[in-house]
Structure formats: structure tokens, C-alpha cells
Amino acid sequence: MTTIIKPKISPELLEALQPKIEEEKQVIVHCCFPGTPYSDMLIRIWSSTFLVDESLAHKSNLIHHENISLFPYWTEVSPMKDYWFTLVFSGLPRECTSFDLVEEIPQEGGFQMRNIKRNNTDIYRVKIN
């Protein structure tokens, strides 16, 4: 019979690593672009998309996008079908209780979702208006 020995980590080392763990947290936002009757609908995301907590003057940066093109390219959306894509952002401050998803772009039509309530998983599903 094999005995498994679990390594012990000193409390001092765990405490020293805690700030690094906090820095590495990420926020995942699954976004739904609702289906429309239009056959030529195109969407994209800009790298200037952030999670913004106005009360703390904090912006979390977009660090990864999945299933959507990054400016200047476009993603075609099929008519009458919801289209899902995922955005990954750098972590929010521990004190953050709500935030906005804001695409800051030099033209009209940027994505904006206001007052997203923070949860303990930092994984969200939002419907883009």
C-alpha cells in the first residue's frame, strides 16, 4: 500500500504568495449578441474594451477574446440566431461590487453593459443591447 504524503507549505510562504494570486485573477464574460432578421450583420470587438469600476477608478484590460474578431476584422453573424462570444479581462479589485463592460471606440455603436453585479466566481453571462 502506498502512502501519499501531502507537502506542507509554510504560512509565511502562503502569505507572501497571496498578492501574486490576486494579480493573476481573471474575469470571464460570456456575451450574447441577440439574433436579428438581417443577413449582413457583422460584429467585432476592439482592444479598447474594458471592465470599469467607476467608484474605484479602475479599468480591467481585455486580455483574450474567443469567437469574435478583433478590430479591424469582422465576424459575420447568422440571421435569427443568437451569437455567443467570450471575453477575458484582467482581474477586478477585491473591493469591486459592480462594474460596466465598455468598448471605448472612436465611432458610434460600441458595446456597453452597465451595472453588472459582481459575483464570487467572476464568470458572467450578458446579453449585448
| pTM for this model (two decimals) | 0.80
Residues 6 or more apart in contact with residue 77 via CB below 8 angstroms: 33, 35, 36, 41, 42, 43, 83
Whether the predicted pLDDT of 89 surpasses 90:
yes
Query: Which position has the higher pLDDT, 53 or 10?
Result: 53
* pLDDT for the residue 15: 67
**109: pLDDT confidence band, cut at 50, 70 and 90?**
confident
Whether the predicted pLDDT of 54 surpasses 50:
yes
Tens of pLDDT, residues 22-39: 556 899 999 999 988 888
Cell numbers found for residue 119: 459575483
Distance in angstroms (rounded) separating the CA atoms of residues 80 and 37: 5
Distance in angstroms (rounded) separating the CA atoms of residues 34 and 54: 27
Helix (H) / strand (E) containing 42: strand 42-43
Q: Read off the amino acid at residue 106.
A: P
